[in-house]
Amino acid sequence: MIDLKLLERDFENIASKLKTKGVKEEDLKEIKKLFEEKKEIQTVFEKYQAKRNSLSKEIGLLMREGKKDEAETIKTKVNDIKVKIEELNEKLKKIEEKLNQKALSIPNIPDSDVPVGKDEDDNVEIKRVGEIPVFDFEVKSHDELGEELNWLDFKAGVKLAKSRFTVLKSEAARLERALINFFLEHNRSYGFEEVYVPFLVNSQTMTATGQLPKFKDDLFKIEDEDLYLIPTAEVPLTNLFRDEIIADLNEPVKLTAYTPCFRKEAGSYGKDTKGIIRQHQFDKVELVAITKPEDSDKMFDEMVECASNALEKLGLAYRQLMLCTGDLGFSAAKTIDLEVWIPSQNRYREISSVSNTRDFQARRGKIRYKDGKKNRLVHTLNGSSLAVGRTLVAIMENYQTKDGKIKIPEVLQKYI
RNA sequence: GGAGAGAUGGCUGAGUGGUCGAAAGCGGCGGCCUUGAAAGCCGUUGAACUCGCAAGGGUUCCCAGGGUUCGAAUCCCUGUCUCUCCGCCA
């Protein structure tokens, strides 16, 4: 959630920054107004409560002394106040609910070094790494290769579930597992501690990291339960610290986890319908870090480096992209995407996304640390290292041979 | 799924209508003592919001949400979770 006090204090600035992310100024104006109204009502409300409390105390004392009549007089007085309190309470609750609902739907403020832009076409390439492979034969797409080699069974996925689910067979299944192991080990070498988490989480958890309330339609929900399938391990990993005050954050918290991820992919019908680029279920190894505010920039670079290096070890060509304001995710203040070369599409495709959310998630989830006597909000960061399914795609396509087979990258051989 | 018990501060745990944000112990922090440490002694030690330039106030929070009452950690209702036993199960 954005800082409402900051919004109140520095409205013009915040509004202009959020405008680049598609937030209407009138929505922010309304939030500011609600916030100010709320505080006003609250002040009056609390004054009445204070009055009630002190009078009630008096009644107690009078009763003890046996002065029943005097007590009765005060009682009628308190009764009048009670009516007022009830009234104000109702008003306050209504306004708080409205404010909360509105404020939770406002995305994070982009960092000032994030390029301003409308959509993905305005993202800025930072660098390209690795040689794009040249083939002296007609390259096949991963879905062609997958069917020919009996690695990917699209029909079986549809039979078991529905479209955008796929069954991996033989070498592909083993390669998937090898990649998970490889990434976890790789991340561990960067100091990220491996964690294993639930794949189902409750609505409070989803709210803290920003999936709820706004993106309900993208999530799979369990019927009759307050449980959702996670869209990324970022959700459980970050929420490990929800409502916590971390005593010592001199060393950042660094975690990594493998989980499957579940996404409805609402609004992406017709996109990437072939192959396994866009699935309802996919594997991902995630990085999450929690830092002091002053340490988050450094951690961000470290996470980009970690994910990039994994691609280099696999010998895959990729590029780094700084997302523009219009393409930035809801919770992110800044994001760098890694895109891997996909020969059959003759272009780079997203394989990792590293984001700094600053204190946006921390405020929602009340994740704080002790800074001397004070409790301060932490910064939270997350990034994929890496998306496993898309790495499988990249390996299949980049490592294909003329006779329609696929070589296994050297670093993976010990896992297979 | 069935039966029972429970949920209080960082932890253990007392508190059954008013003076309770809450005893006591442990832990943490500061000090005394000590060459240093331990022990011992003394002091201190929750969070959120809000008013105020500040000093300093106020409100809320004893699992959550309702209710009774002038007044609720304490009484009533609903829900959630935890533990124990049984059933089922990898």
ipTM for the predicted complex: 0.87
Per-residue pLDDT of chain A (416 residues; tens, 9 = 90+): 999 999 999 999 999 999 999 999 999 999 999 999 999 999 999 999 999 999 998 898 888 787 888 888 899 889 999 999 999 999 999 999 999 999 999 999 999 999 999 999 999 999 999 999 999 999 999 999 999 999 999 999 999 999 999 999 989 999 999 999 999 999 999 999 999 999 999 999 999 999 998 999 999 998 888 899 999 999 999 999 998 888 888 899 999 999 999 999 888 888 888 999 999 999 999 999 999 999 999 999 999 999 999 999 999 999 999 999 999 999 999 999 999 999 999 999 999 999 999 999 999 999 999 887 788 999 999 999 999 999 999 999 999 999 999 999 999 999 98
In words, the CATH class of domain A4-103 is mainly alpha
- The gap between A149 CA and B61 C1' (Å) is 62
Q: What's the CA angle centered on A366, arms A378 and A233, to 5 degrees? A: 75
Using the structure, give the distance in angstroms from the CA atom of A205 to the C1' atom of B79, rounded to a whole number: 19
Q: What is the CATH number of domain A120-413?
A: 3.30.930.10
C-alpha distances in Å from residue A350, one per residue of A118, A238, A322, A341: 18, 23, 12, 9
Catalytic residues of A: 263, 278, 350, 353, 390
The residues spanned by each domain of chain A are 4-103, 120-413
Which residues put CB within 7 Å of chain B, the nucleic strand?
A: A 5, 39, 42-43, 46-47, 49-50, 52-57, 59-60, 63-64, 75, 78-79, 82, 245, 366, 368, 375
Count CB-CB contacts under 10 A for residue A265. 15
> CA A158, A161, A162: angle at the middle one, nearest 5?
50
pLDDT digits (tens, 9 = 90+) for A345-361: 999 999 999 999 999 99
Q: Which of A236, A180, A173 is nearest to A387 (CA)?
A: A180
A369 CA – B28 C1', rounded, Å:
16
* A265 φ/ψ sector (left φ>0, alpha ψ -120 to 50, else beta): left
Q: For strand B, which nucleotides have at least one atom less than 7 Å from a protein CB? A: 18-19, 47-51, 57-60, 70-71
Which residue places its CA closest to the C1' of nucleotide B29?
A: A373
